[in-house]
Structure 1
Amino acid sequence: MKLVIRADASTTMGTGHVMRCLALAQVWQDQGGKAIFVLANKSSSLENRLISEGIQVVYLLVATGSHDDVNQTVDFAQKFNAQWIVVDGYHFGTKYQKDIKDFGIKLLVFDDYGHAEHYYADLVLNQNISAHKDLYQSREIYTQLLLGTDYVLLRREFWQWQNLQREINPIARKILVTLGGSDPDNVTFKVIQALNRLNRDDLEVIVVIGGSNPHCEILQKLIADSSLVISLQQNVSNMPEVMAWADLAIAAGGATSWELAFMGLPSLVFTIADNQKAIAAELDRQSVIINLGWHKDVTVVQIGSVLQELISDLRKRETMSKKGRELVDGNGARRVVSEMTSMLA
């Protein structure tokens, strides 16, 4: 079984599309298949991560989402003798899907909010809590839908934590800050400022940033001037261990929300992209997270106030942890690959 994955990452886009596709590729390869990633933008850190998984990486030389993009992607798939193409990105719309299907290759499309006018894919995967079939009324008769958190994709490093028995401490002293792979607006800076304003000497903080974060030096200076114990870590490969260590997280919406839910880690969540708003609102409604709202609208004082309250609210954090664990069981990638392989039979 061979799989071609077409996804992109950048400073503005972040790395979430590629990383959730990696989770799918890991299960595919564990079941004896091979995967190749087709990317538009070169990123040494991402490329090294994929290669370390035994995944081949190739790059496009054309405009993303264009007909030439389709042709090069299909060309790679045909040379690779791939049975499936997976695409993840909002620039892969109706025409892109139809053009791929015209070549007769099975197609899976990741989606988060019904971004295409019409769907030609064999499978549409929307792993979000807000996913519903009404988003996909305009689709081909053969198009099947994989909707909801049963299909949340978690990378291999999370699988061993399925039976985690998290202890919820009376005071949340260990805090994880993770605002995405790139954090172009430097929300991390604002969060550290809020932590500094708490006037507490009993906190330990780990700040995780991605390889494409352009603000590393600024953050290092802010941390050096802080009275708190803050560790700045880049390109972390043991994220589940860091989440298991923490009592509380401050995070960006998106794929990280599912990882935090699976790990039972109570979290305050910013939305940093429009497609995250409905998801964060529903997770807040179900008491899985506290939704801080749009990152540019939240002040340092507001962050500090909500954080100070949650640090001491044991019952609230117990509820958040329990509901998160109930929502995401860690088997989503296996379910998706099972659907894909059954369609090849």
Structure 2
Amino acid sequence: MNLLVICKASTQIGFGHLIRSRTFVENAIEGNMNLDITLCIIGDSSLKLLLKNPAITFLFYEDENQILLTKSYDAIIFDTINFNKSVFDKIRFNAKKIISLSPVFNLMPFVDICFNRTQYWAEDIEKLTLKKYGGFEYALIQRNCNRIHSIIYKYGLEKRYFNIAISMGGGDAANKTLEVIKQIKNIIEPFTFWIMLGEGYSHSFDEIVNEIRKVKKHEIILAKTNHSMWNVLSNTSLLITTSGITSYEAAYAGLPTITFYDYDNQWFLLKELVDTKLTINGGKFSDNSINNLRNILTDLYHDRSVLYDMHKRSKKQFDNEAANRIINIIKEEVFKT
């Protein structure tokens, strides 16, 4: 089977779609010998730092208008929120099926199949007639995201200065990281905070360092990570993050999270994690919700059993077979009579 995966990434829109597409391709080719997949990335050349797997065929374009397909595919798989309609119309007939790995896509009415990491859908997508597959079983988990052993997790949780990670996205265009640091410095209880800065973080490090200098009660460690991100996170007891893929990876690993979201129409992506008590709802990111973060952390410091229960609960919800499930469904749809 011959597939083309198209995704977009930048500091402004984030790297989540690229990471998910890379994860899908890496996991899919590992278990399927007769699979030919090309990963097409739309963005600047710096994104090559995130793509070091020699087993994957990559195409790079700075702009989607540059895409020119010279062959046909069994399916073209999009992982992006927005795509140029005129370019889409030119390439859609190069494939038997059009698929989206993103549950939010401006061209969803023209998609045949969509896969979603949660059973919930946006209202406008719910009304469409395309085939929809949703649930934790379709959550794509990075290969270097490993489950945290309960003995190790409990040991870390019992430390006086227990470790909390803050990861607000690979690009963090709005610089939420800085806003969170401004709030945590006033918490009385002692913590060790790991500030995770992705490859795309382009804001001034001086601002963060200056803010950290004002912190007296806590230890704060800056970590600029890429492939080693989960090596660090696996040694923490709690992750503060946004409503992207990382919240689902953390649930798979057994790392409790406090998750914020930016817009009301993103709530559906977080709802199932909240319903199953796999994350704590941080609320819509704002001054009020960030102020409340201090109260949440104080409560958790004094009652850590909440976090340990979340850790144990998460292990029953996820496996890491999403890529194979998706490939099998695509095969059925492409080759059915």
- TM score, norm. by length of structure 2: 0.84
The alpha-carbon deviation at position 182 of structure 1 amounts to 0.9
Deviation, structure 1 residue 124: 1.2
Distance (Å, rounded) in 1 between the aligned partners of 2:29 and 2:246: 23
Match of 2:40 in 1: 38
Separation of aligned partners in 2, 1:271 and 1:132: 15
Tell me what 1:165 maps to: 150
Does the C-alpha gap of structure 1 residues 273 and 41 become closer, same or farther in structure 2, counting only changes over 3 Å?
A: farther
Partner secondary structure for residue 258 of structure 1? helix
Q: Classify the secondary structure of the residue corresponding to 1:293.
A: strand
- Who is 1:57 aligned against? 58
Q: 2-side partners of 1:267 and 1:163: how far apart?
A: 14
* 2:150 aligned with 1:150: no
Deviations 1:201-236 (A, max 9, x none): 4x2221111111122412233234433322211133
Q: Secondary structure of 2:164's match?
A: strand
Query: Partner residue of 2:177?
Result: 188
Does 165-174 or 129-138 show the bigger shift?
Answer: 129-138
Q: Which residue of 1 aligns with 2:103?
A: 112
Kindly indicate whether residue 334 of structure 2 is the aligned counterpart of residue 325 of structure 1: no
Per-residue deviation, 1:15: 0.6
Q: Which residue of 2 aligns with 1:174?
A: 163
Partner of 1:295: 285
Report if the CA contact (8 A) 1:179-1:187 is conserved.
yes
Q: Structure 1 residue 14: deviation in Å?
A: 0.6
| CA-CA distance at 1:330 after TM superposition | 2.0
- One-letter identity of the residue aligned with 2:138: Y
Task: State how far apart, in whole Å, the 1-side matches of 2:85 and 2:132 are.
Answer: 16
Match of 2:199 in 1: 211
**Could you say what secondary structure the match of 2:180 adopts?**
helix
Structure 1 gap ranges (5+)? none
Deviation at residue 304 of structure 1 after TM alignment: 1.1
Which residue is equivalent to 1:17? 17
CA distance in 1, matches of 2:277, 2:182: 26
Write out per-residue CA displacement over residues 7-36 of structure 1, whole angstroms, 9 at most, x where no aligned residue. 111222111111111111002221233433
TM-score (structure 1 length as normaliser):
0.83
Q: Distance in 2 between matches of 1:92 and 1:300?
A: 33
What is the CA distance between 1:170 and its match in structure 2? 4.4
**Alignment partners' CA distance in 2, 1:23 and 1:117:** 22
Give the Cα separation in 2 of the matches to 1:299 and 1:287: 19
1:50-87 deviation per Cα after TM superposition (whole angstroms, max 9, x unaligned): 1335333333365x4xxx46xx2533xx1xx6433211
Assess, with a 3 A threshold, how the Cα gap between structure 1 residues 134 and 11 changes in structure 2: closer, same or farther.
closer
Q: CA deviation at 1:113?
A: 4.6
| Aligned partners of 1:4 and 1:38 also within 8 Å | yes
Residues in 2 aligned to 1:208 and 1:263: alpha-carbon distance in whole angstroms: 17
Say whether residues 1:263 and 2:248 are aligned partners. no
**Bigger mean CA deviation after superposition, 226-235 or 293-302:** 293-302
Whether the aligned pair in 1 keeps the contact of 2:76 and 2:95 (CA below 8 Å) is no
Gaps of 5+ in 2: none
CA gap of 1:223–1:12, structure 2 versus 1, over 3 A, is same
- Using the aligned pairs only, state the percent identity: 21
* Segment of structure 1 superposing worse, 88-97 or 203-212: 88-97
